[in-house]
Structures are given as C-alpha cells and as structure tokens.
Amino acid sequence: MATEHSQRCCEELAAAGAIDKLLTLIRSVSRSIPDQEVLKHALSSLRNLARYPHLLDLLIQSNGSLQTILWELLRNKEDSYFIASELLMKISSTPKGVESLRKLPALVKRLHALVEELTRKAIYEKRNGRAASAVIKENRERRLKEAAGILKLITSA
C-alpha cells in the first residue's frame, strides 16, 4: 500500500535492495493459493516502483528482472497476468526496456506463441459459436489485447 501512494517510500525500498528481494520472492513462490497472493503483491510493488522513471531504470538493470516478469506473464492466467502485463507495458515504453527485452529471444518467441494461441481460440469461438461464458471470453480477449500490445512494442522499430 505504501508504494502505491509515496514516491519517497518507493525510493527508500529500492535503495534498501527491495527490487532484488522481490524478484527472488517471485521466483520462489509455488502455485498454491497463498503463494499466488504473495506473488500478486510482489508484482504490484514492482509495478508501483516502475511508475518512477529512475526506479524503472533500476528495475530494468536488475539481474534477471525482465526474464522473471515475462515468465510470470507467460505462466499466469489470473490477476498476476494483468499485473505483469502492466509492468511489461511500462518497461516496453522505454527504449532501454525494449532493447533489454529484445535480448531475450526465447521468451519473446514464447510471447508470440501465446498471442497466436489466444488468437486461434478467439477465432475458434467465433466460428463455432461455442458458448463460453462472458467472463471467460472477456478475460481471454483482454489477455490477447495486452499480450499483443506488448509484443508489438517489443518488435516494432
């Protein structure tokens, strides 16, 4: 909560080494429900830190940060997906972030495969008139839109 409201709090946390600690925490969580809640809060803290350009640069420069965030986007389907997506959009909005993400071709390729899979599912639903619930359909469309947006930022120019 503090990182959501205070730039000074974010700067203090970053100075104390919170970015590396949060990344380590993210890498160590399991798929259990309590751990997924911890993951969501850790990603939210990183997202809040990334609102400030100088802290965003620190995040981009942190060892393994982009791999960790991109991996969480690829493996999650719930709230953590959208938080990781926001974080990657923020990172992709800077030239330094795009350059760093382009240095991860295997993960960018997996992101491309995710976009293709979500597109294929959307087309299949439309063609067959398959009755997916509105929430599932909306969630899938939102996931597709965000993943495609990130991929476009990374691959353009």
| 124-138 pLDDT tens trace | 877 776 666 777 778
Distance, first Cα to last Cα, the chain:
37
Q: How far apart are CA 115 and CA 28, in angstroms?
A: 26
The pLDDT value given to residue 26: 95
**Second-level CATH architecture of 2-155:** Alpha Horseshoe (1.25)
Mean pLDDT of 106-134: 84
pLDDT for 144 beyond 60: yes
- What's 103's DSSP letter? T
CB 7 within 8 A of CB 52: yes
Which residues are CB-contacts of 11 (< 8 A; sequence separation ≥ 6)?
52, 55
pLDDT for 157 beyond 70: no
Q: What percent of the chain has pLDDT over 70?
A: 94
| pTM for the model | 0.88
Token code pair at residue 68: 């960790």
CB 60 within 8 A of CB 97: yes
